[in-house]
Amino acid sequence: MSNVIIYDEEKLTNLKIAKDSELKGACDCVYNLKRSVPGEYSHTCSILDVLYAVLSLNLSVYQNNRGKGAVSMKTAKDVDQHFLPHAINEITIGKYCGKLRIADGHSRIEGLLRRFEAGRLTMEDRNFMVSVRVVPETEFLAVYEKRNSAAQHKTSEMIVNPDYFFGSIFLKFKKSLGDSWDKLGRNSKFLQQLTYLIRYFSAKYVDGDEVSYQEIFKCRSDTKKLLMKTPSEVPNRLDSKRFKELCDGILFYLEIMSIIRKNIEDKQIRDLRPLKCILGSSPLMGLIVADYASGVHNFRMSAQRVANRILNNASKLADLTPCMTHSGNGSTLKTEIAIRDILTPCRT
């Protein structure tokens, strides 16, 4: 993020000062935009006017764009290096969280800022008129979803947005688990796996049932429909009891993996390849967390005992874990049973 201009207010202010002479012809279009009828086009904005509004901090970014506040560097660089005015398309803005913000157009505006900073934005470019749509505050997130869900936004970016269902729960996980959450939250594959668990335990799980990972994995189709839905739009939300159980399951899994990593750091392991496969397996994480969070608790023994069984059967588990979701040797259910037999002493 250090090289992104649009999210850095200090850079925006400094650029405005540095380019003061080139901004003389600009007018602050924000006042007129605020007066526009929401949902109608405004044809009064030149590219320079839009840039001036951003540089003056009167037109702000959507703080959770692409999940954590980011832009598509590919798009920004393309606009910067290969600017074609008629390809800019409509920019969408609206009031949200007390400020007039960009709903769609962050990456394009970032590219324009870079081009302007580098002195490549010609007078003709600056005076080119662009369409700006102003949307009602009550529809900002809905419009953001429609404009971006089918565009370049990745699943890993959408699921961490705290304004939406899964991102709001991840934020609660972070508050509840603290530093422990950071160990998991940096891995997009693990976050994706947690969306399946959240959906399963909020809508599918029945108390007392033994958890089947295959049933959890089936929830992936449901999660795709919920990626950019606000918490109030989602039925069967995760209650406090289930949330606490998942937190406990995550901590249990992290404790197991910490023991394994400690063995690696102590150089007690000669062949690291199987363990690297196991440490990176999000389905195995899903199975262990789900089992711990369920009412059956096959794996609810000490983390040390589970870690020992993984260490003692690393090669076998490394062969099995990739087959949990697309088995090449028999069914995925047989793979799951084989993994359970390894991890659960009473089953062997």
- Structural domain boundaries in the chain: 9-153, 165-347
CA–CA distance, 93 with 75 (Å, rounded to integer): 19
Q: Which long-range contacts (CB under 8 A, 24 or more apart) does 324-332 make?
A: 324/213, 324/217, 324/281, 324/283, 324/284, 324/287, 325/217, 325/283, 332/214, 332/217
DSSP 214: H
CA–CA distance, 106 with 148 (Å, rounded to integer): 11
Angle between helices 332-343 and 282-293 (to 10 degrees): 60
- Res. 96 pLDDT band, cuts 50 70 90: very high
Q: What is the pLDDT of residue 1?
A: 41
Its pTM stands at: 0.78
pLDDT in tens, 175-215: 999 999 988 888 899 999 999 999 999 988 877 778 889 99
Q: What is the pLDDT of residue 112?
A: 97
Residue 50 reports pLDDT greater than 50: yes
Residue 300 reports pLDDT greater than 60: yes
Residue 328 reports pLDDT greater than 60: no
Among positive and negative, which fits the CA dihedral 219, 224, 225, 228? positive
What mean pLDDT is predicted for residues 23-52? Answer: 76
| Top mean-pLDDT range of 41-50, 102-111, 270-279, 335-344 | 102-111
pLDDT in tens, 128-187: 999 898 888 889 998 998 887 655 677 888 889 999 999 999 999 999 999 999 888 888
- Three-state DSSP state, 41: strand
Residues paired with 46 in a beta bridge? 129
| Look-up of token digits 């832009």 | 71
- Three-state DSSP state, 264: helix
Q: Which of 191, 129, 181 is nearest to 157 (CA)?
A: 191
